[in-house]
Each structure stands twice: as C-alpha cells, then as structure tokens.
Amino acid sequence: MVLASGGRTSAGSGPDGYALARGLGHTVVPPVPSLFTFRSQAPLLAGLAGIAAEVRVAAAGLEAGGPLLVTHKGLSGPAVLRLSAWGARVLQACGYAFDLAVDWLPGLADADALLRERIRSHGRRAVAGDHATPLPARLWAALVREAGIDLQARWADLDRDTRLRLAGALKATVLPVTGQAPFKEEFVTCGGVALGEVDFRTMGSRICPGLFLAGELLDIDGVTGGFNFQSCWTTGWLAGRGAAGWRGRALAMGPMGGPAAP
C-alpha cells in the first residue's frame, strides 16, 4: 500500500493521512504551515499594495533575502516565503505575532553616507520627490514620511537626527506582523511522518512492512523553486517502484507465506 495523502491542507475523502500513518504505527512530527505570507497593518504599508523591492528581512533571529511584495493584507514574495520556511516552527510558537525588520537597500552598507552626499549635492531638492535610491517612488516617499520628514522638506533642511532616522528607516524598518495567511493558503506543510521511520531506497516503512510513503505527508518541506514538487515526484517514483517490488515478493511467497506454486 502506498500512502501519499499530502500535507495538512490536502482534502481527502476519509481520515487524514496523518491519522492513517499514526494508526499504522508511525510517528508524525507535528505539522505546521510553511511558505506562507505575513499579515501586517503597519501604517507604512498603507497605499503601497503592488510595490515590489529587493530586500533582506529578519525576524526571530532568522534572515532571508530576495524580492518582497506588498499586498493588500501585508507582505508576500520570495523573501517572506523563505523566512516563513526557515521559521515555520519558531513563528508558529510566537503565534505569528512578531516584529519583521526590513532592510530596503541590502546592497548598501552605509545609508547615512548616501544621505549626507545627497544633502551636499542636491540640497535644494525636496527629499520626498528626489529619487535618491533605486526604490519605487511611492515606497521612497512613504519611508520619508515614516522618518517624520515633511513632504515639502528639502535635503538642506534635514538636521542630523532626522537624517539618521531616514537612514534607519531605509536599513531597518520594523513592521509588526500580526498573523499568517489563512489556513489552506500556505504552500506546504512542515512536519509529517518521521523520516527515520522510512527506508529512502524504496520509501518503505520501517514500522509497517508493505507500507510505502511518499510526498508531502513525509516530514520534508523545501523553499520555493520547485523543491516540494521535486520531493513529491521523487519519493512517489521510489514508493511506486518499492510497492511494485514488494507485491512481486509477496506473490512469490505464495499463500500463507509459503512458496508460490510454479
């Protein structure tokens, strides 16, 4: 028998696959969502839905980089999804309420030096309208507002504290996250049947002879990029071959475990 009933969001027609696996003697590492988006009502994000930027994000001692997308409900994009995968358990443990630090210019080591240079060279220009960074104009204006700078203010008007606030907003904006995407909106499940209980050569159960396991039901989850599909396809192929081999062996044994009739 091959058990390939998917992760915690897979809708089945009977008991869920974890219950079936447990019933057959397997240990199930507690399943939690992975690859999910973050909910946030941070004022900075108001009006920014659809904006994307290449960022570095950090929370709960973990970091991830890549494109970030502002949505109507919060944050998505590969950087967020990666962080949700690395932090699947720790973010669940904190109830998906945490502070997310966003570095909007990960390629820039010294944001304050950039701003000082701007003050020297573009002193008469309005800060909010001056494209000092590769960030989308709407995001730049929002960060300028976030730093408490009047939208009419010119570079030459910035005092040291204000300039440092803007540098801080560019390199480490803190956005309170208040939750994760709703149930069934995550892409994959972290946790599942304990891997030590499966023979990876055939995907055969080490607990229940004749049982083969494949796919997301297992305690395997990857980041975005097709790794979850690949894991499901590979383990499915191995389990199919394993089960076919087992059936051959069972038939060869004949009824009641004795040798088969010629």
Ligand X SMILES: Cc1cc2nc3c(=O)[nH]c(=O)nc-3n(C[C@H](O)[C@H](O)[C@H](O)COP(=O)(O)OP(=O)(O)OC[C@H]3O[C@@H](n4cnc5c(N)ncnc54)[C@H](O)[C@@H]3O)c2cc1C
- Residue 218 near residue 10, CB atoms below 8 Å: no
Nearer CB in complex with ligand X: 173/189: 189
78 sits near ligand X (criterion: CB under 6 A)? no
Q: Which is nearer to ligand X, 103 or 221 (CB)?
A: 221
Indicate the residue whose CB is closest to ligand X. Answer: 12
User: Quick one: which of 223, 210, 204 has its CA closest to 36?
Assistant: 223
In sign, the C-alpha dihedral spanning 221, 226, 229, 232 is negative
The DSSP 8-state label assigned to residue 206 in this structure reads: S
Torsion of CA 137, 138, 143, 147, to 10 degrees: 100
Nearest approach, Cβ of residue 240 and ligand X (Å): 12
CB nearer to ligand X: give 197 or 216. 216
The residue from 1, 12, 123, 134 that contacts ligand X (CB under 6 A) is 12
Q: Smallest distance from the beta carbon of 219 to ligand X, in angstroms? A: 12
Both structure tokens of 18? 């974890």
133-141, 193-201, 227-235, 250-258 -> range binding ligand X (CB under 6 A): 227-235
Q: CB nearer to ligand X: give 6 or 191.
A: 6
Q: Binding ligand X by CB under 6 A: which of 103, 105, 143, 216?
A: 216
Q: Which two tokens stand for residue 35?
A: 């690859």
Task: Using the rule CB under 6 A, give the single segment among 7-15, 21-29, 48-56, 119-127 that binds ligand X.
Answer: 7-15
* SS3 state at 37: coil
Measured CA to CA, the distance from residue 193 to residue 22 in angstroms comes to 8
User: Quick one: angle between helices 160-172 and 111-122, nearest 10?
Assistant: 130
The 23-52 site mask, x for binding ligand X (CB under 6 A), equals ------------------------------
Cite the DSSP H helix spans in the chain: 17-23, 78-86, 88-93, 111-122, 137-146, 160-172, 227-253
15 belongs to the binding site for ligand X (CB under 6 A): yes
Q: Which of residues 175-194 bind ligand X (CB under 6 A)?
A: 187-188
- Check binding of 6 to ligand X (CB under 6 A): yes
Which spans of this chain sit near ligand X (rule: CB under 6 A)?
Answer: 4-6, 10-17, 187-188, 215-217, 226-229, 232
